[in-house]
Amino acid sequence: MISRLSESARAEALAALPQWQWDADRDAIRRSFRFADFNAAFGFMTRIALAAEKADHHPEWSNVYNRVEIVLTTHDAGGVSERDIALARLIDAAAADAR
């Protein structure tokens, strides 16, 4: 069973992910992305979807044309875990490729 990070561990992990915001209401981290167009946004989502399925850890997200909103939390842990931090790093790398 994966466990929720302590407040200090989460703060330390987020210091290295400056574009991700802590959402206390959701016990989650979130980031918004904007791409050139829908094709770039959906390509980005497709790459994340394949990696997420492989890792069996899935984002909560929504897409409107060129914008993608992503929320990461671990349902099994009731908060942010190492899996969310790992997925956030992967998402940042995918975003860098999509621009």
Give the interface with ligand H2B as residue ranges (CB under 6 A): 56-58, 74-76
Name the residue nearer to ligand H2B (CB basis): 40 or 86.
Answer: 86
Q: Which of 31, 18, 52, 42 has its CA nearest to residue 98?
A: 42
Q: Exposed (0-12), middle (13-18) or buried (19+): which is 73, by Cβ within 10 Å?
A: buried
Name the residue nearer to ligand H2B (CB basis): 36 or 50.
Answer: 50
What's the closest the beta carbon of residue 45 comes to ligand H2B, in angstroms?
A: 15
CA 31 from chain center: how many Å?
A: 7
Name the residue nearer to ligand H2B (CB basis): 67 or 75.
Answer: 75
